[in-house]
A and B are shown apart, each in its own frame.
Chain A
Amino acid sequence: MAPLEDRQLIERCRTGDREAFDELVRRYEKQAYNLAYRLSGNYDDASDVVVEAFVRVFQGLHTFRGEANFGTWLHRVVVNTFLDMRKRSKGRHNVSLEEQLELDGDTLTRQIEDTSPGPEELVEQEEREEVLQKAIAQLPPERRILIVLYHFENLSYEEIAQMLNLPVGTVKSRLNRARLALREILQPSRELFGG
């Protein structure tokens, strides 16, 4: 039997069909987790955000109106969940969410060497990604969301504008400023990025 379309699965979920919801979660959990990870900046918070987001999805499926595809809607739910949880946990999880970069000293290098003794290039790539992720986590949430949606989730300016209810021009100009801010944060490790 051909797999059900998202739309059909959602219809079933709305009737309380939990097998259908199980399947829907399987289809999107990895994507949602990656988004949550990029937004929250660490694995533990990413899991919390995704779990909470899917609970909200299940509770709110009746409000999903199908004008966007489910993936786009889920993006919005994950982003909102991230913002809500961040608000709630401000202070409590401040360190993990707003972790300061440790760009100097041996800390980073040692961590990478400990966990991933692969080829040098791979280590460099991992190191770059880790530094980048920590830099993104230092951006204010509004800028972080824009960077993540555009550069990691590959949404278009138009899709982001629709999701955040902003004019496209505003999204573009804010993204430009977010990139400049990210570059500023990464200045101390400029050599890693070949800039």
Chain B
Amino acid sequence: MRCEQFRELISAYIERSIAPPLAAKMEEHAAGCASCRAELEDVRALWQMMAQVQPVKAPDSLHARIMQEVYARVPAGSPLRWWELAWRPRFAFAAAAVLAILALVLWSHNERTDAIALSVVSSGGSPVTPVKTRILPVRFEPFRAEQGDLRWMLKMNAPQPTVVEVASGTRTVWRGLVAKETPVVLPLSAGASVLEVRVSWDNGSVLRAWLPAEILSQDSKPVLVVKEKTVEETLSRIAGAYGVPLVLMGETDPLTRVSLRSTGVALDELLEKVAAELKLEISRAEDGTTVLTAR
């Protein structure tokens, strides 16, 4: 063994991460080479020394300095905007009613004006008469794939973190804190009956909104199951973790191909993670859409 090779392996030797025959060769070399032997001993001692180093104490003034600088350089929150007003409970029902109107509008954009009916109910279950208003704390956005499949995304606004629960039938499919412009992909799977959104305020008020089963059933299709999870479930979980809105569009039956678009950040990184997790091939279309295909 040459000295150069010995030096390359010093750390691995100290960590005992090299094969015994190679370690034996190193010991043989060290026995006859004072320079390499000293280097090995020094690095080992240095390693131990670094393990004993104590943390330094942060200055007492550090916290105040950090907060002061943050306050000075990051402007405080802007005044309430119209959708934030909507989030206050007294506006809630009026706001919720807009869901129906909006859904109709969005649906008509998709040339499917015949079957939509979004119900909005109070916590008591009584339908609320739609009120025309611009206030919009929660909205559904439908997306349709080229071949007619449909998925939904929910966008929510809240001036303060608010617990929101999204259920498909009796199954809770998403639950979390909603802040400003929080998007949630709705992971609808085959057999989904009613998509229901329950929004709870601190004072106990509850808003519920749902998409009736007859609408959902038109677009529910078997989905690709990977590791006993559906693509939608996995994507939704990952999207939730990243805080990135995703648009899912299934194209075949069973779903073997998922196109994704995102308005969020770091999409490439997210998609690579998705592809790796689901063992899907990743490709990008000319229009910027990323396509994940089952192998």
Which residues on A are within 8 Å of B, measured CB to CB?
A: 8, 11-12, 14-18, 21-22, 25-26, 29-30, 33-34, 37, 43, 46-47, 50-52, 54-55, 58-59, 62-63, 65-67, 125, 128-129, 132, 147, 151-152, 172-173, 175-176, 179-180, 182-183, 186-187, 190, 193-195
Q: Which residues on A sit within 8 Å (CB–CB) of B66?
A: 25, 29, 50-51, 54-55
Q: Quick check: A129 and B53 within 8 Å, CB to CB?
A: yes
Q: Quick check: A132 and B53 within 8 Å, CB to CB?
A: yes
Cα(A117)–Cα(B244), bound, Å: 56
Q: Quick check: B51 and A151 within 8 Å, CB to CB?
A: yes
Q: Which residues on B sit within 8 Å (CB–CB) of A182?
A: 46
**B7 in contact (CB, < 8 A):** yes
Contacting residue for A37 out of B10, B56, B179, CB 8 A? B56
Cα(A41)–Cα(B161), bound, Å: 40
Q: Quick check: A195 and B51 within 8 Å, CB to CB?
A: no
CB-nearest residue of chain A relative to B13? A176
Chain A, interface SS category: helix
**B34 in contact (CB, < 8 A):** no
Q: Report B237 CB to chain A, min CB distance, Å.
A: 11
Chain B, interface SS category: helix
Q: Convert B127-167 into 0s and 1s, putting 1 for each residue whose CB lies closer than 8 angstroms to a CB of A.
A: 00000000000000000000000000000001111000000
Q: Which residues on B sit within 8 Å (CB–CB) of A175?
A: 11
Cα(A175)–Cα(B46), bound, Å: 13
Q: Report A122 CB to chain B, min CB distance, Å.
A: 11
Q: Quick check: A15 and B160 within 8 Å, CB to CB?
A: yes
Q: Which residues on A sit within 8 Å (CB–CB) of B24?
A: none
5 residue pairs, one from A and one from B, having the closest CB atoms: A195-B45, A195-B42, A65-B242, A33-B58, A16-B77
In addition to A14-B180, A15-B159, A65-B244, 4 A-B residue pairs with Cβ atoms within 8 Å of each other are: A33-B58, A132-B53, A176-B11, A186-B46
Q: Identify the stretch in B67-75, B198-206, B218-226, B253-261 within 8 Å (CB) of chain A at 4 or more residues.
A: B67-75
Cα(A114)–Cα(B39), bound, Å: 34
Q: Which residues on B sit within 8 Å (CB–CB) of A21?
A: 67, 70
Task: Tell me whether A18 and B39 are in contact in the complex, defined as CB-CB below 8 angstroms, given that A29-B62, A176-B12 are known contacts.
Answer: no
Cα(A22)–Cα(B64), bound, Å: 9
Cα(A16)–Cα(B160), bound, Å: 9
Cα(A151)–Cα(B242), bound, Å: 30
Contacting residue for A179 out of B46, B77, B161, CB 8 A? B46
Task: Tell me whether A179 and B243 are in contact in the complex, defined as CB-CB below 8 angstroms, given that A15-B161, A58-B74, A152-B53 are known contacts.
Answer: no
Q: Quick check: B46 and A183 within 8 Å, CB to CB?
A: yes
Q: Quick check: A63 and B265 within 8 Å, CB to CB?
A: yes
Cα(A38)–Cα(B49), bound, Å: 15
CB-nearest residue of chain A relative to B17? A172
Q: Which residues on B sit within 8 Å (CB–CB) of A128?
A: 49
B51, B55, B62, B69: most-surrounded residue (chain A CB, <10 A) = B62
Q: Quick check: B39 and A47 within 8 Å, CB to CB?
A: no
Cα(A63)–Cα(B77), bound, Å: 18
Q: Quick check: A180 and B161 within 8 Å, CB to CB?
A: no
Q: Report B69 CB to chain A, min CB distance, Å.
A: 5
Cα(A175)–Cα(B63), bound, Å: 33
**B54 in contact (CB, < 8 A):** yes
Q: Which residues on A sit within 8 Å (CB–CB) of B33?
A: none
Q: Report B160 CB to chain A, min CB distance, Å.
A: 6
List 18 A-B residue pairs with CB atoms under 8 Å apart, sorted by A's residue number.
A11-B177, A12-B179, A15-B179, A25-B63, A29-B58, A34-B56, A52-B69, A54-B70, A62-B265, A65-B241, A67-B242, A152-B50, A152-B53, A176-B10, A179-B11, A179-B46, A186-B46, A193-B46
